[in-house]
Structure 1
Amino acid sequence: MLQSELVGTTAMVTGAGQGIGAAVTRALAAAGAVVAAVDRNPDPLTSLARELAGGGAAGDGPVRPYVLDVTDAAAVEATVDLVERQLGPIGVLVNVAGILRPAPAVELTDEDWAATFAVNTTGVFHTCRAVGRRMAERRTGAVVTVGSNAAGVPRAGMAAYAASKAAATMFTRCLGLELARSGVRCNIVSPGSTDTEMQRALWEGDAEAAERRVIDGDPAGWRVGIPLGRIAQPADVAEAVAFLVSDRARHITMHDLYVDGGATLRA
């Protein structure tokens, strides 16, 4: 991404404290944006802000931390209002916040199902409603929701996660259709297996062997491997997001970009 591409832009990234969210925050900041980094855990936000401030105070660099639980609609509205008053109109929104509660579908608890949808789907709705309304009034803006290739291909033990990501994906596409005439673009980036804490929580035994199983595939789990022969790094996903929010993608909206090394065979 060009270093000056997003100069003068205020971006808001949810789930910014780790993994893909942190990588997206770094990519947008490197392109010149001032980034409102949002997460419900304050400690990694502060560390990230200080890192990108060159070791200075958390409020001195291109990343400003905001503690927020995206499942709380009133808190989302208040935080968006605060960000715009402190940093300026939000021109880029990236929805990354997500949780995974793996379990066979018939063994999922009500709490696991509700919690998964509260973050992965309703959280996206809350932020998109608050920011999208403002973008539409200004007739400019770009939204990217980080979904999952599991939204398009069944995954054993991931029914709640896959269903929540499929819902968030279709919501974002519908939003893109509704806001298109206002000049607001809404897209999805759908990663496959990416080297994050969420991915490693699924691994059993030796990490190197577990990674190899993901790459090679698991016939017992009806899962193909990764044709490119590697697990994605968070930066791989972040670069796709950075492209879609830039003017280089000005004629792209309602698109679902798979970043999975070919794992789904684009089913």
Structure 2
Amino acid sequence: MSYTGIAGKVAVVTGAAQGIGEAVARLLAQHGAIVALVDRQEDALNQLVTNLRNQGQQATACIADISHRQAVEDTVQQIEETVGPIGILVNAAGVLHTGAVSELTDEEWTKTFDVNTHGVFYMSRAVVRNMAERQTGAVVTVGSNAAGVPRMHMSAYAASKAASTIFTKCLALEYADRHIRCNIVSPGSTDTPMQRAMWQDEQGAEAVIAGSPHTFRLGIPLNRMALPEDIADAVVYLVSDQARHVTMHDLCVDGGATLGA
């Protein structure tokens, strides 16, 4: 599908070095966006930028840790001054620490919220200030279906994603009168490095699709694992003109794994 309202706009994508963030960055660039890619992984990010430029697309690498407020403020200011006015923000950066509640360390809990929640807040606040002055913009936060359905051994991740989900809806409400739309895309299990890190062996995907009764986890009714491109398609739709009347929406892309809950 050809989406309008993206070409020529500056689009900031966090967590762009791999996984869903990378897929989003590539698809936005294909639709003509000028992508400013934010991540801590310098080598991977620079490689992606080189690849995009070799394809005739416009891309800039911004090495930054979104869990640090000042780094975010400086990065957003730099993009506004050197790349152009930001019209699109995609909060795709995320981290995952698994384990029973009794085994989670303070550091793991805090780091999860630093990136998945505080990072979304810092980036959104810095970007929306400028969008508000221009009376236009679109924000999408990549959440998780775990934000609405309890998961064993994923309490920090689920809680942090739930927080960033409701934050994004509040952001949408506050800035609706400035013509800024804010939405969430909530993936289920997706074939990314984060997902693969949880697999015990090469049959990891099959196990996820089948589900796990002893952890009260349903499988995937569509009988397939999502690819990052599946999530990117949903994100790009929500920032396009085709979704111009959609805001405060949480679009779940999980193959039915949470039964629409």
Alignment TM class, shorter chain as reference: over 0.9
1:72-221 pair list within 5 angstroms: 72-205=68-201, 207=202, 209-221=203-215
Q: Matched residue of 2:38: which SS?
A: strand
- Asked if the contact 2:88–2:139 (Cα under 8 Å) also holds between the matched residues in 1, the reply is yes
Shift in Å at residue 61 of structure 1?
3.9
* Aligned position for 1:18: 18
Q: TM-score, normalised by structure 1?
A: 0.96
Distance 2:107 2:172 in 1: 31
1:20-35 pair list within 5 angstroms: 20-35=20-35
Q: Matched residue of 1:252: which SS?
A: coil
CA distance 1:147–1:254, change in 2 (3 Å): same
* Aligned position for 1:237: 231
Question: Gapped runs of 5+ residues in structure 2?
Answer: none
Question: Gapped runs of 5+ residues in structure 1?
Answer: none
What residue identity is the alignment partner of 1:10?
V
- Asked if the contact 1:4–1:32 (Cα under 8 Å) also holds between the matched residues in 2, the reply is no
Distance 1:3 1:114 in 2: 38
Distance 1:148 1:238 in 2: 14
Aligned residues: 261
Q: TM-score, normalised by structure 2?
A: 0.98
Q: Matched residue of 1:189: which SS?
A: strand
Q: Matched residue of 1:53: which SS?
A: helix
Distance 1:40 1:169 in 2: 23
CA distance 1:49–1:113, change in 2 (3 Å): same
What residue identity is the alignment partner of 1:244?
L
Structure 1 runs of 4+ with >3 Å offset: none
What residue identity is the alignment partner of 1:119?
V
CA distance 1:78–1:133, change in 2 (3 Å): same
RMSD between aligned residues: 1.1
What residue identity is the alignment partner of 1:52?
L
Distance 2:47 2:3 in 1: 22
What residue identity is the alignment partner of 1:73?
R
- Asked if the contact 1:176–1:253 (Cα under 8 Å) also holds between the matched residues in 2, the reply is yes
Distance 1:30 1:252 in 2: 23
Distance 1:4 1:252 in 2: 15
Percent of matched pairs sharing the same residue: 58
CA distance 1:117–1:49, change in 2 (3 Å): same
